[in-house]
Amino acid sequence: MKANSSDRPVIRPLPVIDRARQVTDALADYVEDARLQAGDRLPAERELMAALAVGRSTIREAIRHFQALGVIETRKGSGTYLLKRVSRATIHMPLSFDAAHLRDALLQTLEVRRGIECEAGMVAARRRTAKDLVLIEERLNEMERVHLEKGTSGPEDLAFHLAVYDATHNPLFRQLLEQMRETFERFWEHPFDRQDFARRSFPFHRTLFNAIAAGDAEAARAETLKILDIVEEDIKEMSK
């Protein structure tokens, strides 16, 4: 990242309250606005001190916070670098892990997905509005269109599940997914180089939508489990 780039976002001075938390929020906003990616360098410590009108100790406290979360690293004599994408919504718990084998990583993540997605489907069935149903069905229709054309629908599948999360009207569901996005995305990137991974789960997205539209929480849970059971079967079969 160029130190004197004139078109990058401006880091503005802060009020005099709650400095450390404000610095972490300001840095997260800067990373998001500047569209920094893993490997990009953050502004130097002195530049941050001047831009945010805070002392060295406050900057270092914020840096330590990000380091503890595994979001950034400081390289002696080089600077501070971004390790993972971050935003204000994810700076507190950006969950990810590296398992030795893709099979283990997918199976471990699937255990977490079951808990989150089954609950999200049930809550969405209870709380969804007419507007929510329109959006979920739009995402589902697009997923089905792409699937029938290409035989796969990774981003569209993710968009469908995000719409279900949003229909819960509990922002923590989407925040949890965003925080685990790096891990969850492995399911939509054709694991084991198989374009047909989890393809058999495709029809159950429509039945999941029907259960949510009907306000049937137990049916929504059952249809979600059908999707995830197929995913588990394919992980085990395709990783042999």
| Residue ranges of domains in the chain, CATH in brackets | 1-94 (1.10.10.10), 102-238 (1.20.120.530)
State which H helix or E strand residue 227 sits in: helix 217-238
Position 101 scores a pLDDT of 81
Range name among 23-27, 122-126, 220-224 with the lowest pLDDT average? 23-27
> Does residue 141 carry a pLDDT above 60?
yes
pLDDT band at 115 (very low <50, low <70, confident <90, very high): very high
Question: Is the pLDDT higher at 187 or at 51?
Answer: 51
Position 13 scores a pLDDT of 67
Beta carbons within 8 Å of 202's beta carbon, 6+ residues apart: 144, 147, 153
Q: Amino acid letter at 39?
A: G
Position 96 scores a pLDDT of 54
Phi, psi (rounded to 5 degrees) for 2: -70, 135
Mean pLDDT for 121-139 is 97
Task: Look up the pTM and report it.
Answer: 0.63
Question: Is the pLDDT higher at 88 or at 31?
Answer: 31
Position 16 scores a pLDDT of 47
Question: Is the pLDDT higher at 205 or at 89?
Answer: 205
| Average pLDDT value for the chain | 85
Burial class (CB in 10 A: 0-12, 13-18, 19+), 100: exposed
> Does residue 2 carry a pLDDT above 60?
no
Q: Amino acid letter at 229?
A: D
Range name among 1-5, 36-40, 178-182 with the lowest pLDDT average? 1-5
Give the percent of the chain with pLDDT over 70: 87
Mean pLDDT for 5-14 is 68
Cβ atoms 24, 65 nearer than 8 A: yes
Convert the pLDDT of each residue in 21-76 to its tens digit: 788 888 888 888 888 888 999 999 999 999 888 888 888 888 887 886 778 888 88
Cβ atoms 19, 54 nearer than 8 A: yes
Q: Name which of 45, 34, 39, 11 is nearest 87 in CA terms.
A: 34
> Does residue 17 carry a pLDDT above 70?
no
Beta bridge partners of residue 79, listed in sequence order: 75
Position 34 scores a pLDDT of 86
Structure tokens at 152: 């796969």
pLDDT band at 93 (very low <50, low <70, confident <90, very high): low
Running DSSP on this structure, what letter comes out for residue 41? Answer: B
